[in-house]
Structure 1
Amino acid sequence: MAAVFPPSMGLQSEPDLTKLAAQHRLDEWLRSPKIARRIQSKIDRGEIKELVGPFITISREAGAGAGVIAERLAERLGWDVLDRQVLSYMADHFDRPQHMLHVVDETAAHWIHDVLRCWFDPKRVTHQKYVTNLGKFVTLAGCHGKVIFVGRGAQFILPAGRGVTIRAVASRAFRVAEMAQRHDVPRAAAEKLVDEIDKGRRDFIRRHFHRDPDDPHLYDLVVNTETLGVDTTVDLIEKVCRERYGP
């Protein structure tokens, strides 16, 4: 089996100044009212497609290493990664703790009423409201271009043909082992975590976008990170991007 992830793959390392600056720049751009109004006017006139891209979307199975792949791609291409920034924006928008919004992001809808009642009444964040705002935010980021989206159904929000769509997969056994290491939990707990996350993401896509995320025909490239490893996976995606969009 090919060596796939470094020992610390699942751990968050201290971000360097370059990464922090890139994230700050992207956050600043995305929250600019002036730019938002300009793009909204294009959306209103039905001209949004020509504004979007290039971008990469990475759909993933839990534990397949999409986050690491996105970061490596960002370093090579000089692009921005949009993942947790989405939740940060939503947290600011609803003025609620960011960690609570993980519950309504890519999870089963019935969790909302059981878990968030005490947090969001009377202004509760519903899945539909969340997805509506998510769609606007992803579109705005897509108009910025040179953005890598990890999850959140971004490929179903953005215009087809304006970006590269990726699906990262690996065997369940491999992903369970990765999750056990990442979260420092027993195998049984990691198995449950993998299954719950996969189900939540699958339900999210089916509920709001009426697609099956496991359908390979939805992607330009399906990569098995277990057999290919991070470096080869990144090489393949980078090659596709540079052939389409140039250096």
Structure 2
Amino acid sequence: MSLITISRTIGCGCGDIGCDVAEGLGLELYDDERFRKEAVKIGISHEDAVHLDEERPGFFHRLFHYKPYLYRELMESVVYEIAGRGSGVIVGHASQVLLHDFDCAFHVLCSCPEASRIRRLSEKGGMGEERAAEIIKKADREQDDFLKTYYHLDWKDPGLYDLVINTEKLGAEYAARLIITVVRERITECGLDSLFAMSALSLKKKARAVLIEEGFNINLLFLDVPEDGEIYIRGLASTVEDAAKIRSVLEGLDGVRRVVSDLVVY
């Protein structure tokens, strides 16, 4: 079984490529709709799940209860939760960045020249090319801002991907067949160490998210998951009561069987 991430640009004609690849390889597809369902399944509220996208939050949104940073932790938790299952096709959600260090993950970017994207979107959407160009520029800018804001990376950097496909020359159908062929012939399954690391990252991100939501300063807290279901936390708490609450909050998380606290009250 294989783990694949697919990134794509609007108007490149690859709207169904994730579905085609998943079907061809017999894998689960994690597109936007499925991603949100998975988020709710692992304990994220529906209200928070609808914000798990790649659009950079606005100024007031960024100020309100650290919510944008909460969304980032939640999104990353879901990506790692899915990846920890060892197989699937994940579309978007910065998955090419989050899973880049795992050799068993295969990262694909589908795009084509801007003129081709404008023409395709104009024809498909029944709009003028000027309007299509505006939509494409806005979508690219939002994706660019998201990765630069949170990961200091350029999504157009080919180093983030194992395969970059120009759909103007190859077409979406052949692109899907190409991905399927490469995965079958060249990509190995995720080992146990990688699967544990992904699951541990998911739990860590979920723990960080719940602490942010409870109003704790996450910059003063450091978490680790040394074993399955175990959280080790160290750092600073403002009061004895806060230290006890932090521990209690973590103990209430699904999947946590033990919390080791080394918090210092300052």
Short-chain TM bin? 0.5 to 0.7
- RMSD across aligned positions (CA): 2.8
1:222 is matched with: 164
1:94 is matched with: 45
2:111 is matched with: 169
Instruction: Return the alpha-carbon distance in structure 1 between the equivalents of residues 134 and 40 of structure 2.
Output: 27
Relative to structure 1, the CA distance from residue 129 to residue 190 in structure 2 (aligned partners, 3 Å threshold; closer, same or farther) is: same
> Which ranges of structure 2 fall in alignment gaps of 5 or more residues?
190-266
Instruction: Return the alpha-carbon distance in structure 2 between the equivalents of residues 87 and 125 of structure 1.
Output: 21
Spell out the pairing of 1:31-46 with structure 2 (5 A cutoff): none
1:205 is matched with: 147
Instruction: Return the alpha-carbon distance in structure 2 between the equivalents of residues 241 and 226 of structure 1.
Output: 22
2:238 is matched with: none
1:113 is matched with: 61
Instruction: Return the alpha-carbon distance in structure 2 between the equivalents of residues 181 and 133 of structure 1.
Output: 37
Confirm or deny that 1:193 pairs with 2:193.
no
Displacement of 1:168 in angstroms is: 0.8
CA contact (8 A) 1:67 1:150 kept: no
Displacement of 1:87 in angstroms is: 3.2
Q: Which has the higher strand share?
A: 2
Confirm or deny that 1:72 pairs with 2:27.
no
Q: What is the total number of aligned residue pairs between the two structures?
A: 185
Q: Which amino acid aligns with 2:22?
A: A
Cα distance per residue 1:2-40 (max 9 Å; x no partner): xxxxxxxxxxxxxxxxxxxxxxxxxxxxxxxxxxxxxxx
Displacement of 1:214 in angstroms is: 0.8
Relative to structure 1, the CA distance from residue 140 to residue 191 in structure 2 (aligned partners, 3 Å threshold; closer, same or farther) is: same
Relative to structure 1, the CA distance from residue 56 to residue 112 in structure 2 (aligned partners, 3 Å threshold; closer, same or farther) is: farther
Instruction: Return the alpha-carbon distance in structure 1 between the equivalents of residues 125 and 39 of structure 2.
Output: 25
Q: Which amino acid aligns with 1:231?
A: E
Q: Which has the higher helix share?
A: 1
Instruction: Return the alpha-carbon distance in structure 2 between the equivalents of residues 211 and 161 of structure 1.
Output: 19
CA contact (8 A) 1:73 1:234 kept: yes
2:2 is matched with: 54
Instruction: Return the alpha-carbon distance in structure 2 between the equivalents of residues 222 and 174 of structure 1.
Output: 16
Relative to structure 1, the CA distance from residue 189 to residue 230 in structure 2 (aligned partners, 3 Å threshold; closer, same or farther) is: same
Cα distance per residue 1:98-129 (max 9 Å; x no partner): 7x63xx62123226639xx9xxx7xx672211
Q: Which entry has the higher C-alpha Rg, 1 or 2? A: 2
> Which ranges of structure 1 fall in alignment gaps of 5 or more residues?
1-52
Displacement of 1:161 in angstroms is: 0.8
Identity of aligned residues (%): 27
Instruction: Return the alpha-carbon distance in structure 2 between the equivalents of residues 97 and 129 of structure 1.
Output: 9
- SS of the equivalent of 1:109 reads coil
